[in-house]
Amino acid sequence: MSDKTISVLNLLDMDLKGHNALNIRCLAGRNGLSREIKASDVNRPGLALSGFYESFAHERVQLFGRGEYAYLQKLEGEENLDPIKKFFTYEIPCVVFSQNLQPSETILSLAESSGVPVLQSDLGSSEFAQRIIRVLSNIFAPSKTLHGVFVEVYGVGILLTGESGVGKSETALELIERGHRLVADDIVEIRCVNGNSILGQGANKLISHHMEIRGLGIINVAQLYGVGAIREQKEVQIVIKLETWDQTKVYDRIGTETHFMDMLGVKIPLIEIPVKPGRNLPIIIEAAAMNERLKTMGYYSAREFNQNILRWIESGEAQKAYYGGEDLY
């Protein structure tokens, strides 16, 4: 059960397209459209209609497929309406008939009197269940907003963080110029999906693809570089923290240790990159993205380097070079 809610009316009004489209319309119970959906799962109420109401998940969206529909017709044919009447006494958010199944006037009348919205979709039961669970899971997913710039580099989602003025937007602009894509600038909304993935997008979709460049002002990335330079959302796979170079700080030079940042309970690899004049940050970030892709394929450059050094020492070549007086440099 989530602490977030969405009304049935909000669900009807959502502009869902493609593989998320629910294709739903309201048949009855419009006075109950303000009812709240509090769970991302759906329930098939076959057991409840048969009279078994123990552990009845009435707080979920109730989905009627061909099996439940046939059972309703059987009950009506036997003039046994008590199980149906009892069903509508529960605080149900809404009832959905899939595959364009048309409920009888008796069902619609009971729904109207109890204030339960009855919806209809042309999708099959399994497909509708998958889509609405996906949609509601995204809505109910834990979320927060962060200050940073979110870009996609070589297919890897990289969140650039750091103090204001360190050069996040300018670095992202150079990456866009080099053919990579912007997801969001300044305010990034992240959501934990399925408990192990962090999705990021602009907190405000109307302005998420605009960038503020000091000395230049606000620019529209989609207008300047085309729609191929933007993306609506992406999984956060690396966090890169840009910070002003600190002479007293020891920075990682080998990369054998992996640091992480906790995001909504999910550990995301964290890389700290010091910034100073002369450093080409876009190229460094591109290298970090490609290195991360290699890691997902099971190849770790730093570990291989370390192992090669150990093999070189164990082979005796290092001792020969040292005692033989050879100039290693």
d(C-alpha 179, C-alpha 155), whole Å: 11
Residue 174, domain CATH: 3.40.50.300
Closest CA to 4 of 105, 167, 139: 139
Residues 19 and 110 in one domain: yes
Catalytic residue among 17, 19, 249, 253: 253
- Residue 213: what pLDDT? 86
Closest CA to 93 of 22, 41, 47, 21: 41
Alpha carbon 257 to chain centroid distance?
Answer: 28
pLDDT bucket at 55, cuts 50 / 70 / 90:
confident
Residue pair 61/36 in contact (Cβ under 8 Å)? The answer is no
Closest CA to 24 of 36, 14, 39: 14
Identify the sign of the CA torsion 68, 69, 74, 80: positive
Residues 31 and 102 in one domain: yes
- Residue 241: what pLDDT? 94
pLDDT bucket at 2, cuts 50 / 70 / 90:
low
Residue 64 has pLDDT above 90, yes or no: yes
Residues 19 and 114 in one domain: yes
Alpha carbon 281 to chain centroid distance?
Answer: 27
Residue 321 has pLDDT above 90, yes or no: no
Longest dimension (CA), the chain: 103
- Residue 279: what pLDDT? 85
Q: By mean pLDDT, which of 82-86, 191-195, 228-232, 259-263 is the weakest?
A: 191-195
Residue 118 has pLDDT above 60, yes or no: yes
pLDDT bucket at 224, cuts 50 / 70 / 90:
very high
Residue 326 has pLDDT above 90, yes or no: no
Catalytic residue among 186, 209, 234, 241: 186
Residues 89 and 99 in one domain: yes
Residues 278 and 156 in one domain: yes
Residue 208 has pLDDT above 90, yes or no: no
Question: Which residues partner with 270 through β-bridges?
Answer: 239, 259
What's at 11, amino acid-wise?
L
Catalytic residue among 35, 60, 131, 168: 168
Catalytic residue among 85, 144, 147, 214: 147
Residues 107 and 154 in one domain: no
d(C-alpha 271, C-alpha 236), whole Å: 13
What's at 173, amino acid-wise?
L
Q: Which distant-in-sequence residues (6+ apart) come within 8 Å of 72 by Cβ?
A: 49, 64, 84, 103, 104, 107
Q: Which residue has the tokens 């959906």?
A: 37
Global pTM?
0.72
Residue range(s) defining the domain that contains residue 205: 142-298
186 catalytic residue (yes or no): yes
Structural domain tally of the chain?
A: 3
147 catalytic residue (yes or no): yes
1 part of a folded domain: no
96 part of a folded domain: yes
What average pLDDT score do residues 256-266 get? 87
